[in-house]
Amino acid sequence: MAVGRRKVTVIGAGNVGATAAQRIAEARLADVCLIDVVEGLPQGKALDLAEAAPLHYHDFAVRGTNDYADTTGSDVIVVTAGLARQPGMSRDDLLLKNSGIVRSVVGKAVERSPEAVVVLVTNPLDAMVHVALDVTGFPRERVIGMAGVLDSARFRTFIAEELGVSATDVSAFVLGGHGDSMVPLPRFSTVAGIPLPELLSPERIEALVQRTRNGGAEVVALLKSGSAFYAPASSVLHMVDSILNDRKRVLPCAVLLKGEYGIDGLVVGVPVVLGAGGMERIIEIKLTAEERAELKASADSVRGLVDTLKASV
Ligand code: TXD
């Protein structure tokens, strides 16, 4: 990583992108370059954020642009660009549209920042990590998807609410894909070190797991238009912080597996150590037969998306 000021590029100045830019600057992590295809949008949001800087006592730059030349020399590239699913659009339509967008924006960005760590946010998340691996040719250590941090934060929130304890004392362990195919592991989820099954009945745990799986949809149903962005942006912040500050935090991230957990060549959410080099290590734990089957089902759903992508080229 270059000496001096660090730089993070956020591609997509929508809800998640702009909020992530705000969080990163206000956490004093790095200068931020916010880029979007829409003219004026990233410039306007960046100007607004820059004007908030003195009020937050920081001097990190937030710059908006439509020109990839301005992203040059980024340490981390966060990819939030994409379309939301429109009425009448199938999941596969969305997959193909967003894969086209991710392919194009990531290609342009990494040309100017060949050493960057790329953090994917755009949905369908696991498939977008495959697209970014393909277009960058980067080692798997530097192409990482954000989903598990968000899913586990949601699970922690619901566990804390149920037990009437501080969410900061709750630690939750999730594996697998984003949303429906998430595989929560209650026996590794704890409250101040106490395993969850000691504190809640299997029925209550199952109810919280279901709510977590449905976490994105619950917010969408309330908002009516658009989807969650505060917690997703905070999840991005945690990952970027661990990378830029070489914290080696253990976070669930979507990475390409090469035999770990019995899965080869597919992107799946697993616990990893995140440091300056990106994903430094995958932490592998022994699963029960049932957990293994759930993880395999999650991986199979990613395989379905990857096959659809391959068939389209
Ligand atoms: O856990 C997770 N991974 C997620 C994923 C949690 C929350 C949101 N998740 C997904 O992130 C969501 O399904 C979307 O695929 C992305 C971004 O969500 P956001 O809520 O920020 O969407 P917006 O507000 O629609 O913003 C998308 C922006 C918008 O400003 C577009 O103009 C821009 O992306 N966009 C582009 N920017 C640059 N270049 C191109 N080609 C482009 N196309 C669209």
**Domains of the chain with bracketed CATH:** 7-145 (3.40.50.720), 148-312 (3.90.110.10)
> Residue 232: CB within 6 Å of ligand 1?
yes
In the prediction, which pLDDT does 1 show? 52
Ligand 1 probe mutation, 67, 78, 123, most atoms within 8 A of CB? 123
pLDDT in the model for residue 72? 98
Q: Cα(11) to centroid of ligand 1, in Å?
A: 9
Burial string for 285-296 (b: 16+ CB within 10 Å, else e) reads eebeeebeebbb
Q: What is the pTM of this model?
A: 0.97
Active site residue 58: no
Residue type, 105: V
Ligand 1 close to Cβ of residue 178 (< 6 A):
yes
Q: Is the CB of 236 under 6 A from ligand 1?
A: no
Task: Pick the atom of ligand 1 nearest to 18's CA.
Answer: 21
**How buried is 174 (Cβ within 10 angstroms: 0-12 exposed, 13-18 middle, 19+ buried)?**
buried
For residue 215 and ligand 1, the question of a CB distance below 6 A is answered with: no
Query: Which residue among 126, 227, 253 has the greatest number of ligand 1 atoms within 8 angstroms of its CB, and so is best to mutate?
Result: 227
Q: pLDDT digit of tens for each residue in the chain (313 aa)?
A: 555 789 999 999 999 999 999 999 999 999 999 999 999 999 999 999 999 999 999 999 999 999 999 999 999 999 999 997 777 777 788 899 999 999 999 999 999 999 999 999 999 999 999 999 999 999 999 999 999 999 999 999 999 999 999 999 999 989 998 877 889 999 999 999 999 999 999 999 999 999 999 999 999 999 988 899 999 999 999 999 999 999 999 999 999 999 999 999 999 999 999 999 999 999 999 999 999 999 999 999 999 999 999 998 7
User: How many CA atoms, within 13 angstroms, populate the side-chain half-sphere of residue 205?
Assistant: 17
CA dihedral 253, 11, 125, 89 (to 10 degrees): 170
95 lines ligand 1 (CB under 6 A): no
pLDDT at 313: 76
Ligand 1: centre distance to CA 80 (Å): 4
